[in-house]
Amino acid sequence: MAAGSVFAPVPRAPPVVVFQLTADFREDRDPRKVNLGVGAYRTDEGQPWVLPVVKKVEQKIANDASLNHEYLPILGLPEFRASASRIALGEDSCAIKENRVGGVQCLGGTGALRIGAEFLRRWYNGTNNTATPVYISSPSWENHNAVFVNAGFKDIRAYRYWDAAKRGLDLEGLLEDMESAPEFSIFVLHACAHNPTGTDPTLEQWKQIAAVMKRRFLFPFFDSAYQGFASGCLDRDAWAVRYFVSEGFELFCAQSFSKNFGLYNERVGNLSVVGKDADNVQCVLSQMEKIVRTIWSNPPSQGARIVATTLTCPQLFAEWKDNVKTMADRVLLMRSELRARLQALGTPGTWNHITEQIGMFSFTGLNPKQVEYMVKEKHIYLMASGRINMCGLTTKNLDYVASSIREAVTKFQ
């Protein structure tokens, strides 16, 4: 008699919620259906958009007979790493001028977070210190917790961020949690366009946050997934990261080029490392090289070449910034149109937070029963938290979505 499978004890893991939501949407046959769940840009026709500058650069790369498919260095394409760190920190960054910045090409922003987390667990606040507290905003992107847990950290804590009553930032709670955090704790900060709330600190509030973190010896680990995509301005969206660098912080910044280049499946990310001096940064990079070697060994070239070619050519860079602004402006338009419709319909509650928030996502304030009604009765797919992707709105479905929200809010107070 054949023995049972050695994998028989393995339980089935629950599906990843946002991807399951998309699968449910695809299977839905209702013609009214709307997908407000997926974290990707869509045109007003509801279609993915390949940026015109990306198409141009892809053709340029295809026609370049000097390129081949040899391995890249373990840390990645040098010109990609340098140009990626430069747009995060700015052309006039004192850290770049002093050669105390390094970059690691990673598999998307998630890969950058994982390499950074793995390094910090091995080498930060002692050697292999799994007890260093890691603070993640409440709420946050669901993968943040998992990345740090899987890197070996044992003490994952939440810091207050969202004030549900006023539908905005809980600055007082945030600062209190930083004040009470043990020294050398790691704080994961959203550089801009906070996911899922769309609520960012003001410049003055960022200064308050930095002051507390400096005094309490807390380590900033920025996640920058939406630079340029949030406001339409690269410099404005990088302001917090650059301010922290100007204040003398050593920090990590995980960058993703999925959203602002539309390169979702190319997995293009960079981990920018800012240290106190050049030698220190080189030591950090040497250890990160060891980590990368055992995870993916060498990164892929195509996406990195697209980004590097674009960022290092003035004409292409200008065209890219225009493409990014096109996406950001559409999102801003959908925000104002949705708010206007909700208010015109007399939807119960206040809706100014829709336009006060920024970036791809909006935390609508809808409760679980209202969300369930939206999904099951109206065929509008959104996260259980009430988060919606503003890019899923179009001029064709705005009226339907707005009236459905009004219906849900009226039925389930």
Tens digit of each residue's pLDDT (9 = 90 or more) over 225-239: 999 988 889 999 999
What does DSSP assign to residue 264?
Answer: G
Q: Provide the pairing of β-strand 251-256 with 101-107.
A: unpaired
Give the Å distances, CA to CA, from 203 to 91, 207, 242, 243, 325: 20, 6, 11, 9, 21
Note the pLDDT of residue 19: 85
Mean pLDDT of the chain: 94
Per-residue confidence of the chain (413 residues) as pLDDT tens digits? 567 899 999 999 998 888 888 899 999 999 999 999 878 899 999 899 999 999 999 999 999 999 999 999 999 999 999 999 999 999 999 999 999 999 999 999 999 999 999 999 999 999 999 999 999 999 999 899 999 999 999 999 999 999 988 889 999 999 999 999 999 999 999 999 999 898 999 999 999 999 999 999 999 999 999 999 888 899 999 999 999 999 999 999 999 999 999 999 999 999 999 999 999 999 999 999 999 999 999 999 999 999 999 999 999 999 999 999 999 999 999 999 999 999 999 999 889 999 998 888 888 889 999 999 999 999 999 998 899 999 999 999 999 999 999 999 998 87
Tell me the C-alpha distance between 170 and 97, whole Å.
36
Residue 225 contacts residue 359 (beta carbons within 8 Å): no
Question: Considering the entire predicted model, what is its pTM?
Answer: 0.93
The DSSP line for 119-137 is HHHHHSSSSS-TTS-EEEE
Note the pLDDT of residue 350: 87
- Please give the structure tokens belonging to residue 383: 């996260």
Indicate the angle between helix axes 143-150 and 108-123, nearest 10 degrees.
40
Tell me the C-alpha distance between 260 and 251, whole Å.
22
E runs forming strands in 205-354:
219-224, 251-256, 268-274
- Please give the structure tokens belonging to residue 191: 């550089």
Tell me the C-alpha distance between 220 and 124, whole Å.
12
Neighbours of 6 (CB within 10 A): 7
DSSP lists the bridge partners of residue 252 as: 221, 273
Tell me the C-alpha distance between 317 and 325, whole Å.
12
Residue 406 contacts residue 347 (beta carbons within 8 Å): yes
Sheet holding 268-274, edge to edge: 101-107, 268-274, 251-256, 219-224, 186-190, 134-138, 156-160
Of 52, 42, 41, give the one whose Cα is nearest residue 306.
52
Sign of CA dihedral 264, 266, 267, 271: negative
Note the pLDDT of residue 230: 87
Of 408, 393, 405, give the one whose Cα is nearest residue 351.
405
- Which helix (H) or strand (E) element contains residue 362? strand 361-363
Tell me the C-alpha distance between 281 and 253, whole Å.
14
- Which SS3 state, helix, strand or coil, does residue 1 take? coil
Of 147, 202, 144, 154, give the one whose Cα is nearest residue 174.
202
Q: Could you give the dihedral angle defined by the CA atoms of residues 397, 344, 329 and 226, in that order, rounded to the nearest 10 degrees?
A: -80
CA atoms within 13 A on the CB side of 189: 27
Q: Verify cis geometry, omega within 30 degrees of 0, for the bond prior to 196.
A: yes
Which positions are catalytic? 141, 223, 259
Contact residues for 365 (Cβ-Cβ < 8 A; gap 6+): 164, 167, 349, 353, 386
Tens digit of each residue's pLDDT (9 = 90 or more) over 276-310: 999 999 999 999 999 999 999 999 999 999 999 99
Neighbours of 156 (CB within 10 A): 16
